[in-house]
Chain A
Amino acid sequence: MATAELTTTQKPDWAGRYFHIDQVLNSGGPRTDPQFAAGDEVKKFLRETSKILVIGAGGLGCEILANLALTGFKDIHVIDMDTIDISNLNRQFLFRPKDVGHSKANVAAEFIMKRVPGVKVTPYFGKIQDKGEDYYMQFHLVICGLDSVEARRWINATLVNMVDESNPDSLKPMIDGGTEGFKGQARVIIPTVTSCYECSLDMLNKPTAFPICTIANTPRLPEHCIEWASVLEWPKVFADKKLDTDDPEHIGWLYKVAAARAAEFKIEGVTWSLTQGVVKNIIPAIASTNAIIAAACCNEAFKIATSSAAYLNNYFMLIGTESVYSYTFEHEKRADCPVCGGEAVDINLKSDTTVEQLIDILIEKQDIQIKKPSLSTSTKQIYFQAPPQLEQATRPNLEKKVSELVPDGGDITVTATTLPFNLSIRITYSS
């Protein structure tokens, strides 16, 4: 730890600066672990030693950075691959209109360092996948304020895989927050000890998907017309141009095409806003919910870093639409969790189930959530989605029965680009 370097760059703490925080650090409370090293030792660790990573500098990230800085974390890193958009400004309070188009991580880091003296925030404008284990190993804690399931799965799997039983420092608590409108959740994941992100995938809502035949033949809702414009018409008209949902001209074109189709079918309700909402899969987001969830996450980080109070075990769920309803519970670890469980996932098939049908079963499974799985056993390739030559070579297997390729009780390894790990499934057959 670069303590020396830090002390040279920061302004000295003024007397009274930590008056509020120190009240919880100077002594424990009735529910504090008796091992709590109250006083200078814990303050020194928090302010001089601890190093924390914030993933995401958006709605949650801005709040998280401000809270961490005020509570006394002084070595904070932040990763975000996004740039600032005008629609962020209703909640991402470290950004101003002049910042639109710039890196969220860079602007947020600069703002925090200006506002809270002595705090060092190191931004990285890029993807979490750009970094490897050696990078993640340097932190004591990781807080995630992400909006993508894929990114959460990746960091979760990465942190679980890093755990080396002979090295206690390899265990990196992960605190994960998420919001949607007036609802949100915050949770503490201690890799391999508590349930992990993958254990709870089945809690996610299934995304609304419209059947292609409805879109093509029997549209009824404005959404069907918008999907028709974006999924079917755009690729037909602009074969070489990728749809950019951030480009107002693209949205404008989709809106026009969808509105024309809606008029043809006498469907009401296609608007610019709905068009944008459907194609970008926009989730409503407000400052207040983000503040609540980010505060809950940072409070857990603070409690874990200082032991000044017990930390959340392990899931906090908030619903703010009707009164203030919250539910705190222990989410259970899944023994067959593909990331932290160790046991293979059992899948029972009929003996005449084909490989293609198995792939459909896997895609449908809410607790696995993959789009294009490739299958193999330890001895043979069953089906590969890519590269094209391998896809072509394995394609004939799609029609074969799984039972011709895999014995009863045999294992199949499933891989997919969206899956940050290899999933092992055990196949059994019923007649």
Chain B
Amino acid sequence: MLHDAKDINSSTTAIATEAAPDNKTRRYDRQLRLWAASGQSALESSRILVISGTATSTSILKNLVLPGIGHFTILDPAKVTPEDAGNNFFLEGSDSIGKFRAEEAVRLLLELNDGVDGNADLKGLDEIIDSERGKEWLSEFSLVIAHNLEQKVTEKLSHWLWQDSTRPPLVVVRSAGFLAEFYIQYHEHAVIESHPETAQSLQIDKPFPALLKYATSLDFENMDVTDHGHVPFVIILVRVLEEWKKAHVGNPPSSYEDKKEFKKEILAMRKKIDAENFEEAESQAYRAWTPSKVPSDIHALFSDPQVTNVTPTSAPFYHLVHALSRFVEEQPSKTLPLTSTLPDMKSSTDAYIQLQNMYKQRAEEEKEILKGYLKVPVDADMVDAFVKNSHALKLLRGKRYGQAEENKVAFAENLQTSPKAYAIHLALSALSSFASKQQQGAPLTPTEEVLTSEAQALLPPGADLPHEFADAVGEAIRTPTADLPNVAALLGGLVAQEVIKVITKQYIPINGYCVVDMIDMSTAVLG
């Protein structure tokens, strides 16, 4: 039924206009409210490779197929075993036993969304990673996910993907019984649309010229009582602050006494005791003395080598940050460009719309100034989004999978400071090391001694194991090969969610390991 639908770009532009939405937009309505047409179109252009068709793998894919990724491939030479048939929802019980796992899973996953393309590939990763053609094939995916893959192959894969920053990010997922973890390997990940909870500053402490002029020229004294009760708080604050600064050698209120006095001055302007706009101005008074500053992490970006040494081939993100740093440095406000997003406030329609137009006009002017600093042309929508989110930009720099553990001393220190989460990570790592030494296909029966010695090998000689390690390793011994349906489902949600964030470049993905303990139901991110 989705085939007759328009593509998502044209149909979601329709959201912004007037027509009733088409079937595709209706189907995706609840997610478009989170990542909009831009996020949806990024998802639809993505190609995901999942290595091995385990219960966890199909759970992850289910949550990517439903929101509508473009394509997925399951790479798996295995046939369905009776064990697989019991814990994987994307197999048809005992009927699937003996058939190819990838083919069965792809067929059943595709039923979820006929806008998605899927492929079962019956080769093994070993043969792919060792051939030039195979490597080329791998690099055509947008992202690769591997669940409970044998350690040596995982290392080979992660090293090869890491060698070149244009190769796809890798998600490594491990689970055993109630314990699990996953890691996202990327060189860097820049986010403009982080969807922050906090709004940009209204810059009341640094009013732009038109706002200042308007606020200081308003004749509050002779204003009609109704109009007086409808002046937006932003204008009241700009006015009172300007008068305050005149009386205090240019300084805003700073001490507790000052602030109390400032609030009194606001309320003293009232013509009616219950004027809600003045009450609002009083409650928002902090905006007058809170300086509009560049957040420290944004400021730190300005001196990032990728920003200071920006070249014509640098990604637009770095060009934008570079332009932003010049804006902050050279513009008299010394702060981020203004945005036109005003919160609702007690006011008449006309006064609010007038204020909104003033902000809009100024924001437009400042955006043009910012564009003037750009050394290369950048897509207009991207500039808009960048200005709107300039207080909440995010640049994440990642590490190669396994790189953090190469520093054994640091690992041991982390194990002391966050014992519970690191103990789980250590136990799962020990289990992987142990498994990699066993014969493929043989039952995995680790003992506490052997896993403890595997763990010890990952730490400096003589390092102490916290008692939390005994809890974690006990579970690893109890359930060395259990891909529990509930754990698979939880990982399916968590991993898919992070993959969506990486692909859409919206919201902020994890940087490091996410560790899950489903006994006490907790998660932790190890950075």
Which residues on A are within 8 Å of B, measured CB to CB?
A: 11, 14-21, 23-24, 27-31, 63, 66-67, 70-71, 86-87, 89-91, 93, 96-97, 115-117, 181-182, 186, 218-221, 248, 251-252, 255, 259, 265-267, 271-273, 276-277, 282-296, 298-300, 302-303, 309-310, 312, 316, 318, 320-326, 328
Contacts and interface: CB of A to CB of B under 8 A. Distances in A.
Given A71-B486, A272-B14, 17 more contacts: A19-B86, A67-B489, A70-B87, A70-B88, A90-B31, A90-B68, A218-B230, A220-B347, A271-B18, A273-B16, A273-B32, A284-B33, A286-B67, A287-B67, A291-B63, A299-B486, A316-B522
A17 B88 CA distance: 10
B349 A265 contact: yes
B111 interface: yes
Contact of B82 (A16, A24, A251): A16
Given A220-B347, A295-B489, A312-B520, A271 B34 contact: no
Interface in B470-498: 470-471, 474-475, 478-487, 489-490, 492-494, 496-498
Contact of A86 (B27, B111, B492, B520): B27
Given A29-B474, A310-B519, A298 B489 contact: yes
Contacts of A15: 82
B239 interface: no
Given A286-B67, A299-B486, A324-B514, A23 B479 contact: yes
A31 B177 contact: no
Contacts of A326: 522-523
Nearest to B16: A271
B231 interface: no
A244 B27 CA distance: 19
Interface residues of B, number: 90
A86 B23 contact: yes
A323 B508 contact: yes
Contact of A285 (B18, B30, B94, B514): B30
A295 B1 contact: no
B30 A295 contact: no
Nearest to B485: A70
Nearest to B343: A221
Contacts of A272: 14-15, 17-21
A29 B478 contact: yes
A31 B519 contact: yes
Contacts of A316: 521-522
A109 to B, nearest CB: 15
B112 interface: yes
Most chain-A Cβ atoms within 10 A of its Cβ — which of B19, B353, B523?
Answer: B523
Interface centre among A23, A28, A271 (most CB of B within 10 A): A23
B162 interface: no
Given A181-B34, A299-B521, A323-B509, A23 B352 contact: no
A71 B89 CA distance: 11
Interface in B208-234: 230
24 contacts: A17-B82, A17-B83, A17-B94, A19-B83, A23-B177, A29-B474, A70-B86, A71-B485, A86-B23, A86-B26, A96-B111, A220-B347, A266-B349, A283-B30, A284-B31, A286-B34, A288-B496, A294-B489, A298-B489, A299-B487, A299-B490, A321-B195, A321-B508, A328-B522
A287 B89 contact: no
B457 interface: no
Contacts of A288: 63, 67, 492-494, 496-497, 500
B122 interface: no
A325 B500 CA distance: 16
A182 B30 contact: no
B398 interface: no
Contact of B490 (A259, A287, A296): A296
B213 to A, nearest CB: 22
Given A23-B177, A220-B352, A292-B490, A322 B29 contact: no
A283 B92 CA distance: 33
Given A267-B353, A272-B20, A312-B520, A324 B489 contact: no
Contact of A309 (B97, B112, B497, B519): B519
A21 B525 contact: no
B82 A19 contact: yes
Nearest to A208: B344
A99 B511 CA distance: 40
B360 to A, nearest CB: 9
B85 interface: yes
A321 B82 contact: no
Contacts of B207: none
Nearest to A13: B86
B70 interface: no
Give the one of A63, A273, A294, A295 with max B CB within 10 A: A295
B518 interface: yes
A286 B29 CA distance: 10
B510 interface: yes
Nearest to A252: B20
B81 interface: yes
Nearest to A89: B27
B484 to A, nearest CB: 6
Contacts of A218: 230, 347-349, 352
A20 B86 contact: yes
B27 A20 contact: no
Interface in B145-192: 177-178
- 3 closest A-B pairs (Cβ-Cβ)? A291-B493, A16-B82, A292-B493
Contacts of A96: 111
Contacts of A282: 29-30, 33
A24 B496 contact: no
Given A71-B486, A117-B93, A248 B20 contact: yes
B484 A24 contact: yes
B486 A295 contact: yes
A15 B86 CA distance: 9
Contacts of A291: 59, 62-63, 489-490, 492-493, 496
Contacts of A296: 486, 490, 518, 521
A93 B112 contact: yes
A21 B482 contact: yes
B119 to A, nearest CB: 20
A19 B475 CA distance: 16
B66 A90 contact: yes
A420 B23 CA distance: 39
A143 B487 CA distance: 17
Contacts of A116: 89, 93
Contacts of A298: 485-486, 489
